[in-house]
């Protein structure tokens, strides 16, 4: 199990938090995803044999937010 | 038909805009509701014989935003 903190731009409210967490949690292999609006980031725990870091980024970007690389 | 601009605090993103517009448009008597995020306000066109100003405010507050009175 891998832990990764991803910096994300543009999340401003509870709806944004839900969108990003929901999109990540829907991915097979993601165990948990918790957004911090204050820190503009999301902490993701995932199984790296099932889902890749770039798939996580893609899921976030698909919700309309920018991943800071 | 009445036109009213309501000042609202806390709307930050497209989700907030949709929530407030959706809640207002669901009310019987509301003809249109358009949020401006830049101006922190929503412009509502409504039939004052069907829905009251305080019902509009209540619908906004039910979505978790503060109406500036």
CA B46, distance to chain mean position in Å, is 10
What number of other Cβ atoms are within 10 A of residue A17's Cβ? 18
Return d(Cα B10, Cα A20) in angstroms, integer: 19
Full-model pTM: 0.86
Q: What ipTM was predicted for this assembly?
A: 0.75
Reading chain B (69 residues) residue by residue, the pLDDT tens digits are 999 999 999 999 999 999 999 999 999 999 999 999 999 999 999 999 999 999 999 999 999 999 998
Give per-residue pLDDT as tens, A12-51: 999 999 999 999 999 999 999 999 999 999 999 999 999 9
Q: How far is CA B41 from CA A66, B9, B20, in A?
A: 26, 8, 10
Residue A40 confidence (pLDDT): 98
Nearest to B19 among A10, A15, A64 (CB): A15
β-sheet bridge partners, residue B2: B46
Inter-chain CB pairs, A–B, below 8 Å: 17
- Chain B residue with Cα closest to A65: B13
**Which residue ranges form the domains of chain B, and what is each CATH number?**
2-68 (3.30.70.100)
Residue A34 confidence (pLDDT): 98
Residue A50 confidence (pLDDT): 98
Return d(Cα A41, Cα A48) in angstroms, integer: 19
């Amino acid at each position: 199990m891998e832990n990764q903190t991803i910096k994300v731009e543009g999340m401003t409210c509870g709806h944004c938090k839900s969108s990003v967490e929901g999109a990540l949690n829907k991915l097979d292999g993601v165990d948990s995803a918790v957004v911090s609006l204050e820190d503009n980031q999301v902490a993701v725990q995932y199984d790296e044999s099932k889902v890749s870091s770039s798939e996580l980024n893609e899921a976030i970007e698909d919700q309309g937010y920018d991943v800071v690389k």
